Structure 1
Amino acid sequence: MTHAQHHDHRRHGHHHDPDSALAEILELDAEVLAEHTAGIIRWLPLHGDPRQIVDLASGTGAGTFALLDQFPEAHVTAVDTSPGHLRRLSEKACARGVEGHVHTVLADLDDATWPDLGTPDLVWASGAVHHMADPGRALRSVHDLLAPGGLFVVVEMAGIPRFLPRTAPDDRPGLEDRVHAVSDRRHAQHLPHRGADWGPMLAAAGFVVEGELVVEVDVQGAGNAAVGRYALGALQRARGAVAAELDPEDLAALDRLLDTNSPHSLLRREDLAVRTERSVWAARRA
């Protein structure tokens, strides 16, 4: 499972019912990675501040609100397949006093025709494009949507983050590596574009790729309760994907980590961190 998956999110959600557990992970993800997201936005090769922004597969609004923090005059159209996620996003917009700057659209980006999303000068897609059934068609749709000279930003994460030291837990060292191996094998079948280099596909869709960035993420969990909750939620979701194929002793060790009443609970560990990479492509419509 990836950031993008637990962004399975959201992002390009395959959930038609509100998935509150997933929404919690998305919000923890937004909180833990907030500084990295702000840094990505500051890096973008923009020609002036964008006024009309589309956040594709917005989830509960991590990108929407990070963009509004940087560009408070902008208007953001947040698009997602999950009514529950969009409802949360709207509630957060009201709580922040920016509801006049946020418009939500319920839509499936795998549909052949998209609803009218205006003529944005910036389109943001975080953890989204690798979920699309036909990414090439989706990229062409974004190209045609953008204003001339507008920027399309693709942000992808290298799988679910790593949370534990490689020597952990004491009774099954390397457990997380084995969970990832099973998860990666399963997702290779269902998400063939995960981990892709989007540069050539963006060029094929008519974009000029103006920048690529790799951001190393290493957020220490000591003193940061959100990291423990994020690890718990992400590994609970991973367990659902890997349980049938994981070694029984590994599964038992994972369950001890996930048991919040256990002395071995993730929430009691002082050595957690969020470690991953985020890759970014900034592509302009000529």
Structure 2
Amino acid sequence: MAHSHLGEMLDLDADVLHEFHHEVIAWAGSLVPDRPRIIDVGAGTGTGTLALARHLPDAEVIAVDLSDEMLEHLRHKTQASGVADRIRTVRADLDQPWPDLGPADLVWASASLHHMADPVRTLAQALAALRPGGILVATELDSLPRFLPDDAGAALEERGNAAIAEIRAEAGMHIGQDWTAHCTKAGFTVEAQRHFDIALRAPLPPATGRYAQLCLQRLRHGLDGRLGADDLAALDTLAAGVLDRDDLTVRATRTVWLARRP
């Protein structure tokens, strides 16, 4: 999937799953001091960056990502949102030694840690960037959301996501890791772990159809040779026609860890 479509999918995730995102942002915001400094690790299109800046009007947010395209997209959004004066973007490879980003009160890592080559090393660098008593809020997901309510469609989504999980494991991505153990090994004290089972039904946000289409296209991408020809053709057909459906649901799981620097 092209970066532009991935960026759109990330933005739509924040739109469609806005209640989940708002709850986690509010939780994180309740734990930081006045005028907090925040580092958004693997910021992507900046959905977390912008939400934190809006929720905490006295916060300074440093958005860190490797992609120039994502950071440029983020900068345009900060200008349009009127918060550009409180947001700084930094291009950095988070698998390498970090630039000087601290001291911070909050490190925000939303669906980014599983991309790191050595998550414990990344977490140790996050710990070093925090002030004593500072917190890490890390969100991870098991798979792409599911949208198809019929038995055949749901089974196809399950087969596709199982194949994607195999591909990710072979590529060394850290999906489904024990993040409590990783955080503890890096020096954090884990204070909370919350699991969210998200199940949305009609009436759904207007953007749901496009969000479903992009997720199905991302699910389909790279599955040649992993699923049978009939399954691949069915995914192509479903992605092409999903905008016309009025029976979609949104089913997703997210887990959030709160860890503190002693």
The verdict on a shared fold, with TM-score over 0.5 as the criterion, is: yes
User: How much has 1:222 moved relative to structure 2?
Assistant: 4.2
1:124 alignment counterpart: 108
Residue-pair matches, total: 261
Provide the C-alpha distance between the structure 1 equivalents of 2:199 and 2:178, rounded to a whole number of angstroms: 22
2:170 alignment counterpart: 189
**1:1-42, Cα deviation, whole Å (9 max, x unpaired):** xxxxx8xxxxxxxxxxx8111111111111112221110122
User: How much has 1:187 moved relative to structure 2?
Assistant: 1.5
Provide the C-alpha distance between the structure 1 equivalents of 2:128 and 2:42, rounded to a whole number of angstroms: 18
CA contact (8 A) 2:117 2:173 kept: no
Cα separation, partners in 2 of 1:160 and 1:191, compared to 1, 3 Å: farther
Deviates more, 1:148-157 or 1:249-258: 249-258
1:272 alignment counterpart: 248
User: How much has 1:47 moved relative to structure 2?
Assistant: 4.7
Provide the C-alpha distance between the structure 2 equivalents of 1:54 and 1:38, rounded to a whole number of angstroms: 18
CA contact (8 A) 2:134 2:261 kept: yes
TM-score, structure 1 normalization: 0.86
CA contact (8 A) 1:125 1:155 kept: yes
CA contact (8 A) 1:215 1:277 kept: yes
Provide the C-alpha distance between the structure 2 equivalents of 1:85 and 1:192, rounded to a whole number of angstroms: 20
CA contact (8 A) 1:209 1:281 kept: yes
Provide the C-alpha distance between the structure 1 equivalents of 2:173 and 2:188, rounded to a whole number of angstroms: 22
Provide the C-alpha distance between the structure 2 equivalents of 1:35 and 1:80, rounded to a whole number of angstroms: 25
Match for 1:77 among 62, 70, 73?
62
Provide the C-alpha distance between the structure 2 equivalents of 1:36 and 1:216, rounded to a whole number of angstroms: 10
Cα separation, partners in 2 of 1:246 and 1:222, compared to 1, 3 Å: farther
1:15 alignment counterpart: none
What is the aligned-residue RMSD (CA, Å)? 1.7
CA contact (8 A) 2:33 2:105 kept: no
* Counterpart mapping for 1:221-232 below 5 A: 222-232=203-213
2:260 alignment counterpart: 284
The structure richer in helix per residue is 2
1:164 alignment counterpart: 148
Amino acid at match of 2:256: V
1:19 alignment counterpart: 3
Provide the C-alpha distance between the structure 1 equivalents of 2:32 and 2:47, rounded to a whole number of angstroms: 23
1:66 alignment counterpart: 51
User: How much has 1:110 moved relative to structure 2?
Assistant: 1.0
CA contact (8 A) 1:53 1:122 kept: yes
Provide the C-alpha distance between the structure 1 equivalents of 2:236 and 2:174, rounded to a whole number of angstroms: 30
CA contact (8 A) 1:130 1:191 kept: no
Provide the C-alpha distance between the structure 2 equivalents of 1:250 and 1:234, rounded to a whole number of angstroms: 16
Provide the C-alpha distance between the structure 2 equivalents of 1:280 and 1:58, rounded to a whole number of angstroms: 16
Provide the C-alpha distance between the structure 1 equivalents of 2:224 and 2:245, rounded to a whole number of angstroms: 23
CA contact (8 A) 1:50 1:122 kept: no
Deviates more, 1:72-81 or 1:210-219: 210-219
2:99 alignment counterpart: 115
User: How much has 1:213 moved relative to structure 2?
Assistant: 0.8
Provide the C-alpha distance between the structure 1 equivalents of 2:182 and 2:82, rounded to a whole number of angstroms: 38
Is 2:195 the counterpart of 1:214? Answer: yes
Task: Give the gaps of 5 or more residues in structure 2.
Answer: none
TM-score, structure 2 normalization: 0.94
CA contact (8 A) 1:221 1:227 kept: no
- Is the partner of 1:165 in helix, strand or coil? coil
Task: Give the gaps of 5 or more residues in structure 1.
Answer: 1-5, 7-17, 260-264
Match for 1:95 among 50, 72, 80?
80
Amino acid at match of 2:230: E
